[in-house]
Amino acid sequence: MAPHKTRSPAASIHKHDAELDASVGKDGIDYTRVNLLRNTSVAKLYEDALRYEPGTSISSAGALVTSSGKKTGRSPRDKRIVDEETTSEDIWWGPVNTKLSEHAFLINHERAVDYLNTRERLYVFDGFAGWDPKYRLKIRVVCARAYHSLFMHNMLIRPTEEELKNYGEPDFTILNAGAFPANRYTTGMTSNTSVSINFKLRQMVILGTEYAGEMKKGVFTIMHYLMPKAGVLSLHSSANQGPNGDTSLFFGLSGTGKTTLSADPARALIGDDEHVWTDTGVFNIEGGCYAKCIDLSAEKEPEIFGAIRFGSVLENVVFDEDTRVVDYSDKSLTENTRCAYPIEYIPNALLPCIGNHPKNIIMLTCDAFGVLPPVSKLTSSQAMYHFISGYTAKIAGTEEGVTEPEATFSACFGQPFLVLHPTQYATMLAQKIHEHTADVWLINTGWNGGVYGTGKRIALKYSRAIIDAIHNGELKKAQYETYPIFGLEIPKAVTGVPAEVLNPAVAWQGTKEEYNATVTKLANLFNENFAKYSDQATADVIAVGPKL
């Protein structure tokens, strides 16, 4: 029997190549002193997480089960962007982007560096954001947890050995000292959590939260600024491609069916969350997927269920202590249970994750008022209006205190990650739609026949039939009628969908007075929301809002 071979701890830990040594001091990390693991293997990260990070296990399927600590979701109120002269005039300051002084950032930076430099082990992952080599960014992640390194190994694009050898200096560095708190008395802090981005220094600092999704969405925020500045459009969307090379983009907030409807066995998945539309097509920003796991089953979402295996990271899930089988219905730790896995774990992923110019753009909404049509065809101006609006609705029971449908508007279907004013992204989208003659559709996957509690949720099979009718060209040739007040063009017939479902006025099961009152209520909510953007929106876009 051959002798068992292992590398000595020193050999595996002290991995100092000339390239890393050359960057000592630029981000404050002492690469020559700390025990460093750069782009280490998945197996080694598993070992370290199990050995050094309490609450870590292996699921029966082989995934690494981890805990993100007290924070099981993002902390948008603690996100800051540094107010500095190179970017300040570009940024949409206000509800999403809160200013942080350069001095306060340096205090947080020093705090993170001091913490990281005193760890026994330090992990560095060098990867890429963006599959198109022309636009991709080199992202370096420095962290103290194996879990965080494995997470970003999955979510960024993994370099080849040759690419890693010639990596050079990163374009952006994330210092994740999430286990160490921010100082609440530092100017600009509102808690002991801080997620701050400095575009001038090309650095992001995380303190006071170990939720890994902060890194993922931090990279997206960075791309959401730098890509439009480079003349290409970053989008919070999923994307897939048909056998004939026709690409579709899907926009939608949580609960609208974006992931479910873009996961089509007849079409290749380009990506599930973040894309950029360039002069040559669309590319995925990420190298992996970050899927919600609540109520996940092999029957409902077989691709995602099958992707949870060795190499995947399961966050904050509950499992059987003996069998290690995960109970995806258990939300006792959080409703936001998640799994991060490389995109190649999806059988029909398109690799590299680059698609052609979109032929169809699908905006998804879950209207709990029951008055938006299941499908409508949008003009370019309407596309901008609904893109800027980013409407969906919360329903009773989803959050404490919500007892009736509650409208939610998130600009560009991703307001928490916008850096520029929403109209800048919308204008670029309109130009792309016009240039490539893409068709735009608004699809309601919510209620029909009445409000939530009275009507019924539109059957998934109907939504899938509508998507199929878009992709096979049926809806492009259909006959349309105009839906009053909202001015939407709705088809008179769709194969596989009952005719009465297509027009909310016909489907409504209550009184005409109730219907009219509900339409008026939602129209007013749209108009009130859009008033926030009317100062920078063009007249043609303002004109297509609901008319009462």
Q: Could you report the per-residue pLDDT of 359-380, keeping only the tens digit for each?
A: 999 999 999 999 999 999 999 9
415's tokens: 């307001």
Q: Write down the mean pLDDT value for the chain.
A: 92
pLDDT digits (tens, 9 = 90+) for 411-433: 999 999 999 999 999 999 999 99
Tens digit of each residue's pLDDT (9 = 90 or more) over 231-273? 999 999 999 999 999 999 999 988 898 988 988 889 999 999 9
Give me the pLDDT at residue 35, please: 83
* 266 closest CA partner among 238, 291, 244: 244
**How far, in whole angstroms, is CA 416 from its chain's centroid?**
10
- The residue written with tokens 């197996």 in the block is 43
The pLDDT tens digits of the residues spanning 102-140 come to 999 999 999 999 999 999 999 999 999 999 999 999 999
Structure tokens at 465: 């039939």
HEC per residue, 324-357? CCEECCCCCCCCCCEEEEEHHHCCCECCCCEECC
**pLDDT band, residue 16 (cuts 50/70/90):** very low
Q: Are strands 375-378 and 338-342 parallel, antiparallel or unpaired?
A: unpaired
CB 402 within 8 A of CB 396: yes
What pLDDT score does 398 carry? 44
Both tokens of 303, joined, read 């691709």
Inter-CA distances, 228 with 67, 272, 488, Å: 35, 20, 30
> Which of 162, 176, 256 has its CA nearest to residue 219?
176
Both tokens of 295, joined, read 């109520």
- What's the rounded mean pLDDT across residues 297-323? 95
What pLDDT is recorded for position 26?
76
Q: What is the pLDDT of residue 21?
A: 44
Q: List the strands of the sheet with 203-207, edge to edge.
A: 36-38, 122-129, 137-143, 172-177, 203-207, 194-198, 79-82, 98-100
CA 293 to chain centre: 15
Using CA atoms, how far apart are residues 270 and 426, in angstroms rounded to an integer? 22
| Tokens coding 538 | 């063009």
Say what the pTM is: 0.92
Span 21-35, average pLDDT: 68
Which residues have C-beta within 8 Å of that of residue 511, sequence separation ≥ 6? none
Q: What six digits make up the tokens of 426?
A: 């919308």
pLDDT exceeds 50 at position 4: no
Give 472-478 contacts, CB < 8 A, sequence gap 24+: 475/375, 475/377, 475/441, 476/439
Q: What is the distance between the alpha carbons of residues 440 and 248, in angstroms, rounded to a whole number?
A: 10
Q: Give the model's confidence band at 401: pLDDT under 50 very low, under 70 low, under 90 confident, else very high.
A: low
pLDDT band at 469 (very low <50, low <70, confident <90, very high): very high
**Residue 13: its pLDDT value, please?**
36
Catalytic residues: 74, 217, 236, 254, 258-259, 273, 338
Tell me the pLDDT tens digit for each residue of 55-85.
999 999 999 999 999 999 999 999 999 999 9
Give the C-alpha separation, 201 to 173, whole Å. Answer: 9
Phi, psi (deg, nearest 5) at residue 485: 65, -60
pLDDT class of 31 with cuts at 50, 70, 90: confident
pLDDT confidence of residue 33: 64
What is the reported pLDDT for 267? 96
Within 8 A by CB and 6+ apart from 231, the residues are: none
- Name residue 141's beta-bridge partners: 125, 174
Paired sense of beta strands 313-315 and 64-66, if any: parallel
CA angle centred on 239, ends 302 and 534, rounded to 5°: 130
Of residues 333 and 30, more confidence is placed in 333
Question: Would you state the pLDDT for residue 34?
Answer: 63
Question: Which residues, listed in sequence order, are joined to residue 291 by a DSSP beta bridge?
Answer: 339
Residue 515 in tokens: 């219907």
Report CA 460 to chain centroid distance, whole Å.
22
Using CA atoms, how far apart are residues 409 and 232, in angstroms rounded to an integer?
25
Number of H-type helices and E-type strands within the chain: 16, 31
